[in-house]
Amino acid sequence: MSPPPAHRRSTSVGAAAVLTGAFLFGFNGSMSKVVMQAGITPEQLTFFRVLGTAVIAGGVLLATDRSQFRLPRRDLAWFAALGIGGLAMVQWLYSVAISLLPVGVALLFEYTAVVLIALVAWGLFKERVHPRLWGAIVAVLVGLAVVAQVWDSPLSGVGVLAGLGAAVAYAFYFLVGERSVAGRPPMAVAFWAATFATVFWLLLSRWWETPPSALVRPVSFGGSLDAFAAPMWIPLALIVVLGGFAPFTLIFISLRHISATASGILASSEVLFAFAVAWLWLGETLSAGQLFGAGIVLVGIVVAQTARERKEGTPAPDGFGAGVPPEAP
């Protein structure tokens, strides 16, 4: 991929973009849970999200930069991997996880992707890492054990496995996504990744089993908003636009203004936003011990973000980058 045209970097724009995206993703977890409790499967929800993202991003490109629809053959496999191995898998596994776990807990497991990134850089690409990485790993593992209360196993085993699977997919998306942003505008990356993800889920999601009548059936927003109801298509549209396309693009944009490490640390606030929204909306609470464990995990994630020791100005290994994942579910 050839480098994009030079652009003016703004720290404030980058920080505002990633924080807004993190909040929208944190809010999306509770909204998605409401929709799935109303009968939409994780596979169907994933299909609707990636389809909506592809359609909106495609519409923007149609109006602003049609040249991005011409994809060189050498890039097809690249974007197929990003769309299927990254976007499609991380959104599906996250949807499975939040259907079985509290939203914030599912995100804690998914965000262990940050640790995986540093480990891949060290083990596979032979990059130097700061010794604090090992302390961060210990913090994350101990914190997760406290949150999951492994001595009592109150959490769904399948949900935990889905959350950890989402972390692996998220790490993959991390690595491929930043390289993609370096070569194309964020909107084009959003379009092509979502297009390949849509094709993947076109048959596997069994979207046709959702009858049209279900889309107009009133759905309660549950929790503290139980008195409010709306046709199913309204929360679905909110998930697609405010929980998919908007934050997806905002976090891509942030990577063009601030460093991946800084963006990654700010993006970790998604976990805090998710906990707050799920508590206020769905009444999902954790014990004092679990909240302490969540704090330990967040500290480990932030420390791991700064553990890679790449020299200033040195490019990432061919095809890979480091920092914040370009999209969180």
Q: Tens digit of pLDDT for each residue in 46-59? A: 898 889 888 988 99
Question: Which pLDDT score is estimated for 165?
Answer: 92
Q: Which one has a higher pLDDT value, 104 or 16?
A: 16
The answer to the question of residue 17 being in a domain is yes
The answer to the question of residue 194 being in a domain is yes
Question: Which pLDDT score is estimated for 273?
Answer: 82
Tally of domains within the chain = 1
Question: What's this model's pTM, rounded to 2 decimal places?
Answer: 0.75
Query: Which of 4-8, 9-13, 94-98, 289-293 ranks highest by mean pLDDT?
Result: 94-98
Please give the residue range of the domain that contains residue 273: 11-305
The answer to the question of residue 228 being in a domain is yes
User: What's the per-residue H, E or C state across 133-160?
Assistant: HHHHHHHHHHHHHHHHCCCCCCCCHHHH
The answer to the question of residue 324 being in a domain is no
Alpha helices in the chain (DSSP H): 11-37, 42-64, 73-80, 89-100, 103-110, 113-123, 132-148, 157-183, 186-204, 212-216, 233-240, 246-254, 260-267, 269-282, 288-305
The number of C-alpha atoms within 13 Å of 311 and in the hemisphere containing its C-beta is 1
Number of residues written out for the chain? 329
Q: Which one has a higher pLDDT value, 194 or 272?
A: 194
Gyration radius from the chain CA atoms = 19
Q: Which one has a higher pLDDT value, 163 or 257?
A: 163
Question: Which pLDDT score is estimated for 198?
Answer: 93
The answer to the question of residue 314 being in a domain is no
The number of C-alpha atoms within 13 Å of 310 and in the hemisphere containing its C-beta is 21
The answer to the question of residue 316 being in a domain is no
The answer to the question of residue 319 being in a domain is no
The answer to the question of residue 236 being in a domain is yes
Average pLDDT, the chain: 78
Tokens encoding 288? 């004092």
Name the band, by pLDDT with cuts 50, 70 and 90, for residue 323. Answer: very low
Per-residue pLDDT tens digits for 273-295 = 888 888 888 887 777 887 888 88
Task: Check: CB of residue 143 under 8 Å from CB of residue 300.
Answer: yes
Question: Which pLDDT score is estimated for 200?
Answer: 92
